[in-house]
A and B are shown apart, each in its own frame.
Chain A
């Protein structure tokens, strides 16, 4: 029997996974966590590709319809081999999140080295040439996403530092992308919930009539490791340090084989989404091994964030 709809608010595309290692024109370990941009009529995915050596870099895939992607012949961004970023990217660059702001894309990504993880920011127009702008956080921070507009004249970032082993989502502000401050804690893990262990920002916030929609990932620790799921929250449009609402249930949970089985099983990890005609199309990494897509109506997602969707 063919399943018509998913068991979650987000419906998986029946062609999932949309990309796996065999779709990459060079040998690699895995392709997962990718961020999306629509440039003209073309859909681009900036992908985290883990090489056979074990460190990650970025590749690019193109699609006319947002579902059927071709991965380009060569990677588009490698860890820096010189300059100030070099020592902080020595173990790879990971989990890109692209935000279109003021005529260009700013890509927040995780710079990984023996010093820990830091949030780096690079600027691009075409996803081929990247200008590294700033190592915008100290070590021990990751999952950085930038808002698509300045608020009160400032850039705004969500991120995930670790404090006393608690991984919460914080908000920070900056005038120049280099120096950040006025940091506030926003969403913390909820004991007993699906997001009881750690939470982190996932997709760059989307402006809606009800507030900034943030789809975040939450983890629950089990005897055989964490389970990664996706949930949603709404933040005040003028003061994003104010949480308006937060879903009590996840919007997407690992259930399919490609989400359960892989290098890191039981993981769905969104890094980007596009809203078109009232539909949100979310791209997510599955089991650190595949890239997938799922769709939902924006209204349903907002209802879920407001906890009006029912279910428990």
Chain B
């Protein structure tokens, strides 16, 4: 029995699984404006990491004036979050980063690397999007390493280990709309850049793509979720897919999902400041193999989707049978 028919008959049908590889949690959205103790314009995306037993989200919140700041939210179960009333990161008022953060700091992506949490975020100013890099140990205090790219580059994330002796990051320069990899010996000077993955003509990700979640090293390679954009006459549709990169040489793509793992379908994904958008900056990979994917919906609220590692890897490696 379809949902429409069920509704007509007055029967409440609970959907057992979503229509995508990622299953939406039935309590979605998990964080909305109503969960905040202050006024703001929208909640956008969230970086995610598990610190001990605690789930930590770094939310991008746009103020009523339009400036982006990053707030910390914490949870014991990964579903019910408490958002702190004060920003964890906001545009610097002085210092070398200030000019490049005038319009905000947003879309933080967090990894645990060599004893600290590293946050790569978009620094936005009239000069464009640059990558900023910061470090924290407790999500209370934060130390900026600096602005580490030129414009327009966004959606940056560090790999959680060095690769062949160098720090590595994925990023999305605006020119070409592709995902690139760059390397560094000291986190401040970056180079040896190479294109990794490009938009696919005719696909759901035909216009531009960008990194969503930090890469996780699996037996099949570096696994990460990415977003793909398709332009329509009514504006872009943003969906999520996944890809696998070679463990030693992340410029080599080992696998890539043929189809999205999550597409905007629900009301809260269709309606908001930027409709038809699901976008992620972070996921928690549980020891059980479960993936908790935290995603922003319609640039207006934060949602939770779940799936498991084996399913996503399989979709990356053998996705061509999906249609």
List residues of chain A with CB under 8 Å of any chain B CB.
Answer: 84, 87, 114-118, 134-141, 159, 161-164, 166, 168, 170, 172-176, 178-185, 188
User: Residue on A with the closest CB to B171?
Assistant: A138
Within the complex, the shortest CB–CB distance from B198 to chain A, in Å, comes to 8
List residues of chain B with CB under 8 Å of any chain A CB.
Answer: 96, 99-100, 125-130, 146-153, 171, 173-176, 178, 180, 182-185, 188-195, 198
Complex Cα gap A116–B173 (Å): 10
**Top 10 closest pairs, chain A to chain B, by CB:** A163-B128, A163-B151, A140-B175, A116-B175, A179-B191, A181-B189, A179-B189, A139-B175, A161-B150, A178-B191
Decide if the interface of chain A is mainly helix, strand, loop or mixed.
strand
Given contacts A163-B127, A163-B151, A164-B129, contact A140 B190 (CB under 8 A): no
Complex Cα gap A22–B263 (Å): 58
Complex Cα gap A164–B104 (Å): 14
User: Residue on A with the closest CB to B166?
Assistant: A179
A162 with B128: CB separation less than 8 A? yes
Complex Cα gap A164–B185 (Å): 29
B195 with A137: CB separation less than 8 A? no
The contact sample of 9 A-B pairs, CB cut-off 8 A, is A87-B195, A117-B175, A135-B193, A138-B171, A139-B175, A161-B151, A164-B152, A166-B126, A179-B191
Given contacts A116-B175, A116-B176, A162-B128, contact A179 B150 (CB under 8 A): no
> Please, which residues of chain B bring their CB within 8 A of the CB of A181?
146, 148, 184, 188-190
Given contacts A162-B128, A170-B150, contact A115 B191 (CB under 8 A): no
- Other-chain residue from A136, A141, A166, A173 in contact with B127 (beta carbon distance below 8 A): A166
> Please, which residues of chain B bring their CB within 8 A of the CB of A168?
127
> Please, which residues of chain B bring their CB within 8 A of the CB of A161?
128, 150-152
- Between B99, B100, B184, B193, the greatest number of chain A beta carbons within 10 A of the residue's beta carbon is seen for B193
B173 with A140: CB separation less than 8 A? yes
A188 with B193: CB separation less than 8 A? no
> Please, which residues of chain A bring their CB within 8 A of the CB of B153?
138
Decide if the interface of chain B is mainly helix, strand, loop or mixed.
strand
Sample of 10 further A-B pairs with CB below 8 A, known A134-B191, A138-B149? A135-B193, A139-B173, A139-B195, A162-B175, A163-B125, A163-B129, A163-B130, A179-B183, A181-B189, A182-B146
User: Residue on B with the closest CB to A177?
Assistant: B191
Within the complex, the shortest CB–CB distance from A67 to chain B, in Å, comes to 38
- Between B130, B176, B188, B198, the greatest number of chain A beta carbons within 10 A of the residue's beta carbon is seen for B176
> Please, which residues of chain A bring their CB within 8 A of the CB of B190?
179-181
Complex Cα gap A185–B185 (Å): 23
User: Residue on B with the closest CB to A241?
Assistant: B96
Within the complex, the shortest CB–CB distance from B100 to chain A, in Å, comes to 8
Complex Cα gap A116–B130 (Å): 17
> Please, which residues of chain A bring their CB within 8 A of the CB of B147?
183
Within the complex, the shortest CB–CB distance from B151 to chain A, in Å, comes to 3
Complex Cα gap A176–B193 (Å): 14
Within the complex, the shortest CB–CB distance from B14 to chain A, in Å, comes to 45
B127 with A164: CB separation less than 8 A? yes
Given contacts A140-B152, A179-B183, contact A115 B178 (CB under 8 A): yes
- Between B99, B127, B188, B191, the greatest number of chain A beta carbons within 10 A of the residue's beta carbon is seen for B191
Complex Cα gap A114–B191 (Å): 20
Complex Cα gap A176–B153 (Å): 22
Complex Cα gap A182–B191 (Å): 12
User: Residue on A with the closest CB to B129?
Assistant: A163
Given contacts A115-B195, A117-B175, A139-B176, contact A175 B150 (CB under 8 A): no
Complex Cα gap A180–B178 (Å): 20
Within the complex, the shortest CB–CB distance from A119 to chain B, in Å, comes to 10
> Please, which residues of chain A bring their CB within 8 A of the CB of B180?
138-139
A183 with B149: CB separation less than 8 A? yes
B175 with A185: CB separation less than 8 A? no
> Please, which residues of chain B bring their CB within 8 A of the CB of A163?
125-130, 150-152
> Please, which residues of chain B bring their CB within 8 A of the CB of A138?
149-150, 153, 171, 173, 175, 180, 182, 193
B175 with A175: CB separation less than 8 A? no
User: Residue on B with the closest CB to A116?
Assistant: B175
- Between A118, A159, A183, the greatest number of chain B beta carbons within 10 A of the residue's beta carbon is seen for A183
> Please, which residues of chain A bring their CB within 8 A of the CB of B96?
184
> Please, which residues of chain B bring their CB within 8 A of the CB of A170?
150
- Other-chain residue from B125, B126, B151, B188 in contact with A182 (beta carbon distance below 8 A): B188
> Please, which residues of chain A bring their CB within 8 A of the CB of B126?
163-164, 166
- Other-chain residue from B128, B175, B176, B198 in contact with A166 (beta carbon distance below 8 A): B128
Complex Cα gap A174–B185 (Å): 12
A179 with B175: CB separation less than 8 A? no
> Please, which residues of chain A bring their CB within 8 A of the CB of B192?
178-179
- Other-chain residue from A115, A136, A174, A188 in contact with B175 (beta carbon distance below 8 A): A115
